[in-house]
Amino acid sequence: MKKDNGVYVLDTSALFTYIEDEAGADHVEQLLLDAEKGDAVIYISFISLTEVFYITSRENDESKAMERINLIKSLAVSIQESDENLNLEAARIKSKNSISLADSYIAALCRYHKGILVHKDPEFEKISSLIREQRLPYKNS
């Protein structure tokens, strides 16, 4: 996958790809290594931490969920909390597109930082004209 130096936003699906060593994990890992060296900047939305926690809790338990949250927080990433500008941009995206609220926030974060969204979520195809993206290999259904 082509690497593009700059600013990246990791979607929740990219975080799970990395954590669970799925197809595309090597690309996410390289971006994280680049961020450690200062060659890239990576943002993660607060909503992705929420998703990682509840999905992991549902599939495993809260202890495993906290392990994953702590792992993410130890990476060379900036976790972006919400603010009024992000709220309004997410609302604009959500009002015009049939995507989840969480994905609206992630797309808004990407637009706010003029970043490249790294994901494997087909839902983002609906708004591909609004964001720059790098698609990781989708899971086979």
Can you name the CATH fold of 6-135? Answer: Rossmann fold (3.40.50)
Boundaries of every domain in the chain? 6-135
- From the list 83, 84, 64, the residue with the least C-alpha distance to 72 is 64
Q: What value does the mean pLDDT take over residues 22-32?
A: 97
Residue 94 token pair? 């959500």
H or E element at residue 132:
strand 132-135
Which pTM does this prediction carry? 0.92
pLDDT in tens, 73-117: 999 999 999 999 999 999 999 999 999 999 999 999 999 999 999
